[in-house]
Structure 1
Amino acid sequence: NTLCLIVFGVAALAATVSAQQQKYTDKFDNINVDQVLSNDRILNNYLKCLLEKGPCTQEGRELKKTLPDALRTNCEKCSEKQRTNSRKVISHLESKKPAEWKKLLDKYDPEGIYKSKFEKLNKRT
């Protein structure tokens, strides 16, 4: 289980180099993001990992490692599946866990530089 995402837009991922261009790994793309988002215990564990308030699973470590680059590049290296999962995660956190979403923004975007990118990613079809 994992919190894909890109919480902010990315699925649980790690950077790899493909023959054509650099993309994030797809090894976590088959994780059921809806199941993670509907399970507060699992979701809260991933949030704690991202906020450095608790231990991380392998997937959580990969997400935490990849998240800054995904935010900076507006998820340019994400697959379509990762973008879709990112939108789900962002939408869920904004509507169901706004306090946690704010903590994540405070940690990963303290100057508000990427917030508009999150919003664009969340609205992109």
Structure 2
Amino acid sequence: MAHARLSLAALLVCLVLGTVLADTRYTNKYDNVDIDRILSNARILNNYIKCLMDEGPCTAEGRELKRTLPDALQTECSKCSEKQKTTAEKVIKHLIDNRAKDWDRLLKKYDPTGEYKRKYEKAVRSA
């Protein structure tokens, strides 16, 4: 009986730790998406922007991005892998340089106070 309680306690500790550790990073299941292909294809990029703006359907990747974006902005991507940080910088730079109107629309939705804009634009420009 004591052994069963100990095993149950160990299982619960493992489950709690697994949940806590899982929450410290975003999923990496989309890290191998070809971001250059997306950025160079106006139709695909438009679809992602429409997804983020609630103006069109979302792919699985788009839904994940939409779900994590507010937290990533707020925490300065603290749960991002290095690959995700590099990709985010690339996308931001592309939008600023090539799709300024879309960048402004996204900022109005996800950063209405301008709090994150200053941080991220400065970081991208210095990269």
**Selected match of 1:39 from 34, 38, 41:** 41
- Give unpaired runs (5+ residues) of structure 2: 1-17
Larger strand proportion of the pair: 1
Cα deviation, 1:74-108, whole Å, max 9, x if unaligned, reads 11110000011001100000010000000000000
Moved runs in structure 1, 4+ residues, more than 6 A? none
Alpha-carbon RMSD: 2.0
Q: In 1, Cα distance between the equivalents of 2:82 and 2:101?
A: 28
Answer with 1 or 2: which has the greater Rg: 2
Q: Which residue of 1 aligns with 2:12?
A: none
Cα deviation, 1:103-125, whole Å, max 9, x if unaligned, reads 00000001101112212442576
Q: In 2, Cα distance between the equivalents of 1:21 and 1:50?
A: 22
Q: TM-score, normalised by structure 1?
A: 0.81
Distance 1:31 1:20, change over 3 A: closer
Q: Which residue of 1 aligns with 2:113?
A: 111
Task: Give the percent of matched residue pairs that are identical in Structure 1 and Structure 2.
Answer: 55
**Selected match of 1:99 from 98, 101, 118:** 101
Q: In 2, Cα distance between the equivalents of 1:17 and 1:116?
A: 33
Larger helix proportion of the pair: 2
Q: In 2, Cα distance between the equivalents of 1:25 and 1:67?
A: 13
1:94 partner letter: I
Q: In 2, Cα distance between the equivalents of 1:56 and 1:105?
A: 19
Q: Which has the higher contact order (CA 8 A, sep 6+)?
A: 1
Aligned length: 110
